[in-house]
Structure 1
Amino acid sequence: MRRRHLAALAYEVEARGLSWRLAGPGESVLGVRGPRTPRQVMVVATPDGDGWSYLWTGGGIADVTGVAQVADELARLLD
């Protein structure tokens, strides 16, 4: 389930011109980079109550059902 959520986010960030790679044990972390900066944001998907949430560096948190909005936020952070 975790990899499915990370794959969905990877698809969305790539559509916004960001690059990504899976890292960590069992490829459980999504590293996202912007096109013009060396900065990177690390994202995990974690169970949260009855669903799943994305957590990312800098204190970001969002439900996985808002994957497009998360990708937009990451694009803003890495622009």
Structure 2
Amino acid sequence: MRRRHLAALAYEVEARGLSWRFAGPGESVLTVLVPRTSRQVMVVATPVGDGWSYLWPGGGMADVADVPLVADQLARLLG
């Protein structure tokens, strides 16, 4: 389930011109990168209550149902 949520986010960030790669044990972390600057942020997907959420540094948190919104926020963060 975790990897499926991260793969959905990878697709969305790539559509915004960002690069990505899986990292960590069992590919449990999504690293999102700006190709021209090498700026990056690491995102995890974790169970929260009866659903799942994305978490990223700086207090970022959003429900996995909000994939396009999360991709936009990451693009702004790395911009």
TM-score by length of 2: 0.96
Match of 2:34 in 1: 34
Q: What pairs with 1:1-79 in structure 2 (closer than 5 Å)?
A: 1-79=1-79
CA RMSD of aligned residues (A): 0.8
Which structure 2 residue ranges, 5 or more long, are not aligned?
Answer: none
Which structure 1 residue ranges, 5 or more long, are not aligned?
Answer: none
Would you say the 8 A contact 1:37–1:78 is kept in 2? no
Equivalenced residue count is 79
Give the share of equivalent positions with the same residue, in percent: 82
TM-score by length of 1: 0.96
Using the TM superposition, give the Cα deviation of residue 35 of structure 1 relative to its aligned residue in structure 2, in angstroms.
3.4
Q: Distance in 1 between matches of 2:7 and 2:36?
A: 23
